[in-house]
Amino acid sequence: MDIFNISLPIAGIEFNALLLLLIGFCVGVLGGFFGVGGGWIVTPALNIFGFHMAYAIGTDLSNIFGQSIGATVKHHKMGNIDWKLGFISIAASVVGLEIGSQVILFLEKAGDVGSIVRWCYLFLMFGLGSLMFYDYLSQNPARQKGKLGLSVDPINSKPKKPKRSISERLHNINLPPMISFPASGIRSVSLWIVLLVFLFTGFLSGFLGVGGGFIRMPALVYLIGVPTVIAVGTDLMSVLFSGAYGCFTYAIKGRVEFIAAFIMLIGASIGAQIGATAVKYIKGYGIRLLFAIMILFAGCSIALEQIYKITEIPAFQSTAGIVLMGTAVIMTFIIITRLFLEVKKEKKNLKLSRN
Partner 1 sequence: MSMKKIITLCLLFFVLSIAYNNSFASSEVGGKQETSLNEKVGTKNLSGVNLWIVELYNNDRFMYAVVVVLVMAALGSIMAFGTDLVLKHFGINVSRISHSE
The nearer residue to partner 1, 281 or 308, going by C-beta atoms, is 281
Phi–psi pair at 113, nearest 5 degrees: -80, -30
Among 35, 37, 39, 66, binds partner 1 (CB under 8 A): 66
Which segment (13-21, 38-46, 67-75, 172-180) binds partner 1 by CB under 8 A? 67-75
- Across 98-185, the runs of DSSP E, i.e. the strands, are 178-181
Residue 113, SS3 per DSSP: helix
- CA 239, CA 268: separation in Å to the nearest integer? 14
Neighbours of 12 (CB within 10 A): 10
Q: Does 316 bind partner 1 (CB under 8 A)?
A: no
Q: Which of 46, 186, 230, 303 binds partner 1 (CB under 8 A)?
A: 230
Is the Cα torsion angle 326, 329, 335, 336 positive or negative in sign?
A: negative
Between 124 and 263, CB nearer to partner 1: 263
At closest approach, how far in Å is the CB of 261 from partner 1? 7
> What is the spatial distance between Cα 134 and Cα 153, in angstroms, rounded to a whole number?
26
Stretch that binds partner 1, among 111-119, 171-179, 240-248, 310-318 (CB under 8 A): 240-248
Q: Which of 192, 285, 308, 316 binds partner 1 (CB under 8 A)?
A: 285
**Most distant pair of Cα atoms in the chain: their distance:** 76
The residues with which 6 forms a beta bridge, in sequence order, are 15
Q: Is the CB of 128 or the CB of 230 nearer to partner 1?
A: 230
| Alpha-carbon span 39 to 120, nearest angstrom | 17
| E strand or H helix at 119 | helix 113-139
The one among 110, 252, 310, 352 contacting partner 1 by CB under 8 A: 252
In the complex, the smallest distance separating the C-beta of residue 89 from partner 1, rounded to whole angstroms, is 14
Q: How far apart are CA 31 and CA 284, in angstroms?
A: 16
Binding site for partner 1 (CB under 8 A): 7, 9-10, 12, 54, 62-63, 65-71, 73-74, 76-80, 83-84, 87, 141, 185, 227-230, 241, 244-245, 247-249, 251-256, 258-259, 261-262, 265-266, 269-270, 272-274, 276-277, 280, 283-285, 339, 343, 347
